[in-house]
Amino acid sequence: MAESDKVFAGSIPKFYDTLMVPLIFGAYAADLAQLVAAFSSGAVLETAAGSGVVTRALASKLRADARYVVTDLNQPMLDYAATRQGTDSRIEWRQADALALPFEDAAFDVVCCQFGAMFFPNRVTGYAEARRVLRPGGRFVFSVWDRIEENAFADEVTQAVAALFPHDPPRFLARTPHGYHDVAVIREDLRRAGFTDIAIETHAKLSCAPSAREAATAYCQGTPLRNEIEARDASLLAMATDRATQAIASRHGTGPVVGKIQAHVIVAAG
């Protein structure tokens, strides 16, 4: 993973939250929140919280006496998430590296992470840290995207932008968000981290946007794909967004667009 894959700064957090969250993250966040809440968690740690979509979905479902620690490595994203969350004395916002968690052993009932594990430089280390801070019987609940070919808009945007830079195609979406999709590899990484009870389910959903333009803008300007485009030629960001818009519209129409998205949801214990 390139260092630029982890940079969510400048205008990216706002674009990410206002465009990407309703496009692909919201529905999965609601499901993850329901799953975590079902474990009757008194102490929850969220890692790689991003702009706080899971936080907003989960906080209202937790007990009145719950402790909810929300973390992210990227301070601008965490700051943005905090501004979107109402005042809640149960929530502690803290910058933290999921690979070196600043918490005592056996401190949480659940560790959850939506679409963050793909960004871990060492996933086994990150999983081992999640296991370390879990109490006996606790659960690690997380999700990762399936391969890019199962995620229509991401695949179409990647191909369209690649055509604009044929000698050095930006591959952020395929490389990182959709680069960790092999279920056998995920299971083995979790086993190496010490988890023994592993359940993985694959869930397909529909991604909806008011227009092809909005979907293209979300991917090209609300993710680190923007960093890759601008590193090649900042003057071509608008053209890249135009090309992505055309690619999506050619497959899904010029009005509201709907495309398939697919992800793996994992619950690990032991």
| Least-confidence region, from 23-27, 188-192, 265-269 | 23-27
Full residue range of the structural domain in which residue 180 is found: 3-269
User: Are 136 and 106 within 8 A, CB to CB?
Assistant: yes
Which pLDDT band holds residue 13 (cuts at 50, 70, 90)? low
Instruction: Give the three-class secondary structure for 135.
Output: strand
Number of domains in the chain: 1
The CATH number linked to 110 is 3.40.50.150
Quickly tell me which residue has 């979107």 as its tokens: 84
Backbone angles phi, psi at 59, to 5 degrees: -55, -45
Partnered with residue 204 across adjacent β-strands are 262
Mean pLDDT in residue range 210-219? 95
Burial class (CB in 10 A: 0-12, 13-18, 19+), 103: middle
The fraction of the chain above a pLDDT of 90, given in percent, is 83
Instruction: Give the three-class secondary structure for 43.
Output: strand
Which pLDDT band holds residue 18 (cuts at 50, 70, 90)? confident
Pairing status of strand 197-209 against strand 257-269: antiparallel
pLDDT tens for 59-110 read: 999 999 999 999 999 888 899 899 988 889 999 999 999 999 999 999 999 9
Residues 6+ apart with CB under 8 A from 238: none
For all residues of the chain together, what is the average pLDDT?
93
4 pLDDT more than 70 = no
Residues 6+ apart with CB under 8 A from 257: 153, 208, 209, 211, 212, 215, 248, 249
Which pLDDT band holds residue 2 (cuts at 50, 70, 90)? low
Taking the C-alpha atoms of residue 265 and residue 187, their distance in angstroms, rounded to an integer, is: 12
Instruction: Give the three-class secondary structure for 55.
Output: helix
* DSSP 8-state secondary structure symbol assigned to residue 22: I
The full DSSP string for 155-203 is HHHHHHHHHHSTTS---HHHHTTTS---HHHHHHHHHHTT--EEEEEEE
Burial class (CB in 10 A: 0-12, 13-18, 19+), 105: exposed
Instruction: Give the three-class secondary structure for 123.
Output: helix
Partnered with residue 68 across adjacent β-strands are 44, 91
Under the phi-then-psi rule, with left for phi > 0, alpha for psi from -120 to 50, and beta for the rest, what region is 72? beta
